[in-house]
Amino acid sequence: MRDLPPTATLRTFEVATRHTTFTSAAAELFITQSAVSHQLKNLEEIWGLQLFERGKTLSLTPAGAALAPLVREFFSKLETTLADLREQKGRVRLRVNTTYSFALKWLLPRLPGLARLHPEILVTLESTDTAINFASTDSDVAIRFGHGHYPALHTEFMFREQLFPVASPALLRRFGTPSEPAELLRYPLLTRDGADLVPKWDVWFKLIGINTDVLHESVRFADTNMTIEAALLGQGIALARSGHVEKEIGDGSLVRLFDVPFPSPAAYYFVCPKGIETQPHITAFRRWLQAESQQAQLSYR
């Protein structure tokens, strides 16, 4: 840290990297051209590196080009963090990482309830479908869909969804409402592709005693939300997870077909690094999640 110059000098360097002359850099900083030149010369002496090629226009040396993005990132993060702290005004931020579909369909509609119950918690939602690695992310906690095997992490079961066929009223008017599950074989079926944790149509048919190698699939989708959207548009019947169609079933834009119990083989789990689960704001969030999960589990039966 002995080679760390004054912040004002670093700021002058950052500004100068975005200009072609000391004069234009000085205009942005509201100081004289000679002050800019003096600060940059002093910085080069502190670091023992030539940072600029001086001529009619400024250009960065290889050393200057290597250091410029680091200094720029420092000021960017400093400004963002200061703005963040001013925004919080005594609230504690909780960064929650989960999958995009779960955040959109299940968690996001419930967050106003958390805000009313715990106004001191400021939630930041981050979404990714990849495995969580707390060592390489800023996330505090995560909600994951799987089998609960998360070594070295604090893990809590949340809830398990039910799977069932759903269709739009428009599609049912066009094709008619099936009276028994076997009739679904004549309908266009929407399939989520590449999702090992989500059973496919053939598994559902085998569950009800129908073995078939012929399925009338219309399109395969790589995303759960796209599959549900296609069902809403009347493009076919989707095998939906209950937590992803709560709103649509409630407002009638999708109709559940057949009351066949089919629990998802995977479930949702709350995970976080061991030791932080007892922090007050994380404890409050965990308990709120547990209450919401229990209520959801009851409604999915």
Return the structure tokens found at 95: 């960064």
The model's pTM:
0.69
Is residue 175 predicted with pLDDT exceeding 60?
yes
Closest CA to 254 of 103, 108, 105: 105
In the chain, % helix, strand, coil (3-state, to 5) comes to 45, 20, 35
Q: Return the number of other C-beta atoms located less than 10 Å from residue 154's C-beta.
A: 17
Q: 37 and 176: one domain?
A: no
Task: Note whether residue 2 is domain-resident.
Answer: no
Q: Please give the tally of structural domains in the chain.
A: 2
* Residue 1 maps to a domain: no
Number of Cβ atoms within 10 Å of the Cβ of 52: 20
- Which DSSP helix (H) or strand (E) runs through 60? strand 59-60
Work out the pLDDT band at 277, boundaries 50, 70, 90: very high
Rounded to an integer, what distance in angstroms lies between the CA atom of residue 164 and that of residue 207?
A: 12
Both 27 and 94 in a single domain? Answer: no
User: Which tokens hold the place of 97?
Assistant: 């990482």
Residues in the chain: 301
Dihedral of alpha carbons 189, 193, 198, 204, sign: positive
Contact 233, 111 (CB under 8 A): no
DSSP for residue 290: H
Quick: pLDDT tens for 45-57: 999 999 999 888 8
Q: DSSP letter for 210, please.
A: -
Domain end among 40, 57, 88: 88
DSSP state of 263: B
- Is the Cβ–Cβ distance between 193 and 226 less than 8 Å? no
Query: Is the domain of 67 the same as that of 103?
Result: no
Q: Over the chain, what is the mean pLDDT?
A: 88
Residues 64, 145, single domain; the answer is no
Cβ-contact 124, 94 below 8 angstroms: yes
Domain that holds residue 275: 90-300
pLDDT of 195 over the 60 cut: no
Query: CA angle at residue 231 from 227 to 237, to 5 degrees?
Result: 95
Q: What is the pLDDT of residues 97-127, one digit of tens each?
A: 999 889 999 999 999 999 999 998 989 898 8
